[in-house]
Structure 1
């Protein structure tokens, strides 16, 4: 990534490093022991407070804007979740 150019969000090496770092903070991985079936339908990407990022990272990551969540203001993986999940009225997935 050239330091003198504006950030576009399309630097694959940077995005891969972000993905690796951010995945380390998951609270609910489908691979973990004790993952509950009901969590599958209560993932961040389906929450009405999840705002997708732009660029390549926006395909998997967004910011939590739920004032009742401990993750408010933090970047979250779309398949993660929390106890403050609030589903979209239209059941859409961003």
Structure 2
């Protein structure tokens, strides 16, 4: 069971459940290893990222996990977007300080 759910987040997000507007093409169906990109307004991706990060770092305290969201949001707004691996490395550095 995920540590955080939508009601735990402090920021406003776009929660999209609509299917993609363009049909799949060979570019989207080929097995290309491309890291996921995080954007500050995509609620599903941010929530999934925060839960995955918390689980991989053995964070079991909900408040500690909730406190990651403002850090991540500030960095995403500054950068525009980041890959998930870059966001993980950045959060690791912030937590170590």
Shorter-chain TM-score: which interval? under 0.3
Q: Give TM-score scaled by structure 2 length.
A: 0.26
Task: Tell me which protein shows more strand as a share of its residues.
Answer: 1
Q: Give TM-score scaled by structure 1 length.
A: 0.27
Task: Tell me which protein shows more helix as a share of its residues.
Answer: 2
